């Protein structure tokens, strides 16, 4: 599993994060208002990883309309949740090749 391996229970904070998921969550902790989905993609995070963080309730996704000059664009902001912060406190067990 790219995002994490689960323990016996299926609670998000019981996940052992992959290095990429850990890096993404750390990046989100540095962004109090969240980070634009496209910015995470620009940093090399895969769509599947980002959606996996949201599905695991380690992050949330909120779409908003932003005015850019005369254009209005939809931006999706990704924010870390309390469960994501708890997951970051867990020891690192898994190393992806």
Q: Domain limits of the chain?
A: 15-89
Separation CA 42–CA 35 (nearest Å): 11
Residue 12 pLDDT > 70, yes or no? no
Per-residue DSSP letter, 36: E
15-89 placed in CATH 1.10.10.10: yes
Average pLDDT across the chain, whole number: 84
Q: What is the mean pLDDT of residues 49-62?
A: 96
Q: Does residue 2 carry a pLDDT above 70?
A: no
DSSP 31: -
**Region 38-53: what's the mean pLDDT?**
96
* 16 close to 4: Cβ distance less than 8 angstroms: yes
Q: What pLDDT score does 72 carry?
A: 96
CA distances from residue 29 to 37, 42, 61, 85 in whole angstroms, order as listed = 15, 17, 14, 8
Taking the C-alpha atoms of residue 77 and residue 83, their distance in angstroms, rounded to an integer, is: 17
């Amino acid at each position: 599993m790219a995002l994490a391996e689960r323990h016996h229970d299926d609670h998000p904070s019981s996940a052992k994060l992959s290095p990429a998921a850990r890096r993404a969550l750390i990046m989100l902790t540095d962004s109090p208002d969240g980070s634009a989905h496209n910015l995470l993609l620009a940093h090399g995070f895969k769509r599947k990883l980002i959606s996996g963080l949201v599905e695991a309730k380690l992050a949330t996704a909120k779409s908003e309309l932003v005015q850019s000059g005369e254009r209005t664009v939809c931006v999706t902001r990704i924010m870390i949740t309390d469960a994501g912060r708890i997951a970051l406190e867990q020891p690192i067990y898994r190393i992806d090749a």
